[in-house]
Amino acid sequence: MSAELRGPAGIASGADGSGEKSGHIYTVLSPMAGVTDVSFREICHEMGASLTVTEMISAKAVTYGNKNTFKLCTLSDAEHPVSLQLFGSEPDVVAQAAQILSSRVPFDMLDINMGCPMPKIVNNGEGSALMKDPALAGRIVKAAVGAIDKPVTAKIRSGFDADHVNAVEVALAVCEAGAEMITVHGRTREQYYEGKADWGVIARVKEAVGDGAVVIGNGDIDGIDAARKMIGETGCDGIAVGRAARGNPWIFREIKEGRVYRPSPEEKKEMIMKHLKMTIAEKGEYIGIREMRKHIGWYTAGLPDSAKLRVRINQAESFDEMADLIRLGI
Distance, in Å, from the CA atom of 255 to the CA atom of 228, rounded to the nearest integer, reads: 9
**In the chain, pLDDT over 70 holds for what percent of residues?**
93
Of 130, 135, 178, 137, the closest CA to residue 1 belongs to 178
What mean pLDDT is predicted for residues 190-205? Answer: 95
150 and 80 within one domain: yes
| Same domain as 188, residue 307 | no
Final residue of a structural domain among 232, 257, 282: 257
pLDDT tens column, 104-126: 999 999 999 999 999 999 999 99
Q: Are residues 40 and 183 in the same domain?
A: yes
215 shares its domain with 281 = no
Confidence band, pLDDT 50/70/90 cuts, at residue 305: confident
Check whether the bond before 81 is cis (ω within 30° of 0).
yes
Say if CB 209 and CB 182 are below 8 A apart.
Answer: yes
What's the pLDDT tens digit per position in 164-189? 999 999 999 999 999 999 999 999 99
The model's confidence at residue 303, banded by pLDDT at 50, 70 and 90, is: confident
Q: Clarify whether residues 302 and 239 are in a common domain.
A: no
Cβ(317)–Cβ(308) under 8 Å? no
User: Which among 235, 257, 279 is the end of a domain?
Assistant: 257
Q: Is 59 exposed, middle or buried (0-12, 13-18, 19+ CB in 10 A)?
A: buried
Whether 153 and 292 share a structural domain: no
| Across 8-22, 124-138, 266-280, least confident range | 8-22
Say whether both 272 and 240 belong to one domain.
Answer: no
Return the H-helix or E-strand segment holding 137. helix 134-147
The CA-to-CA distance between both ends of the chain, in Å, stands at: 50
Report the candidate in 38, 195, 207 with the shortest Cα–Cα distance to residue 184: 207
CATH code (residue 90): 3.20.20.70
- Does a structural domain hold residue 168? yes
Task: Judge whether 121 lies within some domain.
Answer: yes
Q: Active-site residue among 44, 73, 116, 236?
A: 116
Whether the per-residue pLDDT at 237 is higher than 70: the answer is yes
Strands (E) across the chain are located at: 20-21, 24-25, 27-29, 51-53, 57-58, 82-87, 109-114, 152-159, 181-188, 214-218, 238-241
- Asked if 208 and 309 sit in the same domain, the reply is no
Residue-range definition of the domain harbouring residue 275: 265-329
Pick 294 or 13 by higher pLDDT: 294
14-38 tens-digit pLDDT? 434 445 444 689 999 999 999 999 9
Looking at the predicted structure, is the pLDDT value of residue 40 above 60? yes
In a domain, 85, yes or no: yes
55-85 pLDDT, tens digit per residue, is 999 999 999 999 999 999 999 999 999 999 9
* 8 Å CB contact between 85 and 57: yes
pLDDT for 302:
85
Considering the domain boundaries, does residue 8 fall inside one? no
Residue 13 within any structural domain of the chain: no
Residue 310 lies in a domain: yes
User: Lowest mean pLDDT: which of 17-26, 36-45, 91-100, 158-167?
Assistant: 17-26
Query: Among 257, 285, 303, which residue terminates a domain?
Result: 257
116 is catalytic: yes
Question: How confident is the model at residue 14, as a pLDDT?
Answer: 41
AA identity, residue 273: M
Local confidence band at 13 (pLDDT 50, 70, 90 cut-offs): very low
Residues 156 and 170: their CA atoms lie apart, in Å, by 8
Q: What's 212's DSSP letter? A: G
Q: How high is the pLDDT of residue 23?
A: 61
Phi, psi of 287 (to 5 degrees): -70, -40
Q: Which carries the bigger pLDDT value, residue 282 or residue 303?
A: 282
Q: Are both 119 and 246 inside the same structural domain? A: yes
**Distant-in-sequence, close-in-space partners of 321: CB < 8 Å, separation ≥ 6:** none
265 pLDDT above the threshold of 70: yes
Question: Does residue 235 surpass a pLDDT of 50?
Answer: yes
Residues 6+ apart with CB under 8 A from 252: 27, 29, 44, 47, 48, 49, 241, 245
Supply the mean pLDDT for the chain: 92
pLDDT at 240: 98
Q: Is 313 helix (H, G, I), strand (E, B) or coil?
A: helix
Instruction: Say if residue 315 is in the same domain as residue 221.
Output: no
99 in any annotated domain: yes
**Is there a domain that residue 1 lies in?**
no
Average pLDDT for 241-269: 96
Q: Which residues of 74-107 are buried (b: 16+ CB within 10 A; e: fewer)?
A: ebbeebebbbbbbbbbbbebbbbbbbbbbeebeb
Least confident of 134-143, 179-188, 308-317: 308-317
CATH number, domain with residue 316: 1.10.1200.80
- Based on the fold, state whether residues 274 and 126 are members of the same structural domain: no
- Identify the pLDDT of residue 328: 82
User: How many domains does one find in the chain?
Assistant: 2
- Do residues 241 and 311 share a domain? no
